[in-house]
């Protein structure tokens, strides 16, 4: 899969870049026609001699160029407002009805649970960006993983029978797809959703789980096949670069921490948890820093401190926010739980404002 998806992505990237460099209009029919003819030529060579395996990456490279060119030729794409968007709107209205004392509290809850950042002050958004915590506001694997773990925990009582695995698979995929569509189906959310679908299908079919790099490349190929223009999206690029860092670098950095002895296995080890969070942050930044600097011209100097503080707080805020919202909708939410969630939100915002001003 890696030998096909990476050339396809490179072809789509060249398809997005070449018209600007060559002075051609995007979606020029002649440009797409040339790509299609070259694809046909390579396909003929493959049919003539299938032993030339190097032709397959070349074919997918050309297909990536053709897909991008042909996609940009479509004058209007059919867009419909999914019914789930209405459910997301009602969820945002429910969150805003919760009696938080600080107006930024419901705005941040809406951001982390639904992806709607419209209620956040510009100063708060800038603090997230300058401190290197923008990923908290962008629906991605962090948020999808939280939803996924909630579904897994809620269905743990079903056991591990084939029927239970099938039910858990259906619920996991159903919630992931519903959440992705309801929150706008951003490229990073789509990528996380595809990961969950691949994981669940592998679990229910009891096949050998594929390596994470294989899943990453499968998601890359699927997304670009349907939306080649995603290759120009900053969120798409940063999402895949961050995942590449987690897959290829994080296991190495995580292994630098000494292995626990037999006597200490199972015991609480705060230093290990801190190192795991730090190594995760470093792994992501190694891959995303060049792209972030190219796009934004800045680099968050204190990203390590930011993530050590923000990730535990964000996890707590997401759990508290989901619980508060659910209980408030049922009319059972105690006031002290709302205050605890608000204090956690205030701690997160204050911490990031201090770091962004350093």
Residue 7, pLDDT > 60, answer: yes
Among 34-48, 163-177, 329-343, the minimum mean pLDDT is found in 34-48
CB 228 within 8 A of CB 68: yes
Round to whole Å and give the CA distance between 273 and 225: 38
Q: The dihedral of CA 227, 217, 294, 64: what is its sign?
A: negative
Q: What angle, rounded to 10 degrees, do the helices at 29-48 and 55-72 form?
A: 160
CB 101 within 8 A of CB 258: no
Complete DSSP assignment for 127-139: HHHHHT-GGGTS-
From the CB of residue 296, how many other CB atoms can be counted at a distance below 10 Å?
A: 12
Q: What is the mean pLDDT of residues 151-173?
A: 80
**What pLDDT digit, counting tens, does each position of 94-140 carry?**
888 999 888 888 888 888 887 778 888 888 888 888 887 777 776 66
Q: What is the mean pLDDT of residues 258-262?
A: 63
| 102, 115, 118, 227, 342 from 188: Cα distances, Å | 29, 11, 19, 13, 27
pTM of the entire structure?
0.79
**What pLDDT digit, counting tens, does each position of 8-57 carry?**
888 888 777 776 655 555 556 666 677 778 777 777 777 776 667 777 78
Exposed, middle or buried, 266 (CB in 10 Å: 0-12/13-18/19+)?
A: exposed
Give alpha helix (H) positions in 80-233: 83-96, 104-114, 122-131, 141-154, 162-182, 187-205, 212-226
CB 188 within 8 A of CB 216: no
3 state SS of 21: helix
Question: How many residues are there in the chain?
Answer: 358
CB 279 within 8 A of CB 301: no
Residue 266, pLDDT > 60, answer: no
Q: What is the mean pLDDT of residues 311-318?
A: 86
pLDDT at 20: 63
Round to whole Å and give the CA distance between 171 and 179: 12
pLDDT tier at 156, thresholds 50, 70, 90: confident
When the pLDDT of each residue in the chain is averaged and rounded to a whole number, the result is 79
| 231, 313, 329 from 9: Cα distances, Å | 7, 35, 44
Round to whole Å and give the CA distance between 68 and 20: 14
pLDDT at 342: 92
Round to whole Å and give the CA distance between 15 and 40: 17
pLDDT at 337: 92
Q: What is the mean pLDDT of residues 68-92?
A: 64
Residue 267, pLDDT > 70, answer: no
* Letter string b/e over residues 251-265, b meaning 16 or more CB atoms within 10 A of that residue's CB: eebeeeeeeeeeeee
pLDDT tier at 288, thresholds 50, 70, 90: confident
Residue with more model confidence, 31 or 219: 219
């Amino acid at each position: 899969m890696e030998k096909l998806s990476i050339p396809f992505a490179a072809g789509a990237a060249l398809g997005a870049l070449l018209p600007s460099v060559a002075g051609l209009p995007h979606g020029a029919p002649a440009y797409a026609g040339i790509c299609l003819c070259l694809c046909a030529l390579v396909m003929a060579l493959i049919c003539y001699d299938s032993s030339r395996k190097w032709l397959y990456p070349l074919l997918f490279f050309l297909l990536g160029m053709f897909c991008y060119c042909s996609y940009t030729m479509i004058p209007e794409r059919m867009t419909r407002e999914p019914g789930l968007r209405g459910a997301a709107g009602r969820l945002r209205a429910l969150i805003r009805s919760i009696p938080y004392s600080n107006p930024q509290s419901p705005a941040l809850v809406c951001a982390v649970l639904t992806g709607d950042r419209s209620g956040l002050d510009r100063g708060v958004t800038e603090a997230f960006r300058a401190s290197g915590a923008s990923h908290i506001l962008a629906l991605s694997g962090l948020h999808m993983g939280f939803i996924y773990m909630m579904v897994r925990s809620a269905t743990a009582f079903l056991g591990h029978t084939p029927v239970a695995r099938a039910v858990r698979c259906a619920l996991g995929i159903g919630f992931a797809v519903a959440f992705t569509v309801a929150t706008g189906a951003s490229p990073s959310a789509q990528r996380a959703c595809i990961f969950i679908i691949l994981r669940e299908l592998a679990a229910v079919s009891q096949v050998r789980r594929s390596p994470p790099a294989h899943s990453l490349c499968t998601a890359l190929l699927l997304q670009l096949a349907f939306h080649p223009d995603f290759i120009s999206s900053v969120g798409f690029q940063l999402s895949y670069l961050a995942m590449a860092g987690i897959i290829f670098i994080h296991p190495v950095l995580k292994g630098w921490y000494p292995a626990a002895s037999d006597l200490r296995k199972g015991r609480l080890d705060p230093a290990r948890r801190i190192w795991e969070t730090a190594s995760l942050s470093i792994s992501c930044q190694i891959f995303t820093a060049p792209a972030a600097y190219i796009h934004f011209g800045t680099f968050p100097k204190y990203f390590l401190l930011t993530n050590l503080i923000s990730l535990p707080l964000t996890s707590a805020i997401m759990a508290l926010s989901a619980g508060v919202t659910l209980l408030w909708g049922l009319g059972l939410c105690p006031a002290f739980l709302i205050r605890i969630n608000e204090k956690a939100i205030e701690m997160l915002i204050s911490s990031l404002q201090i770091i962004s001003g350093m």
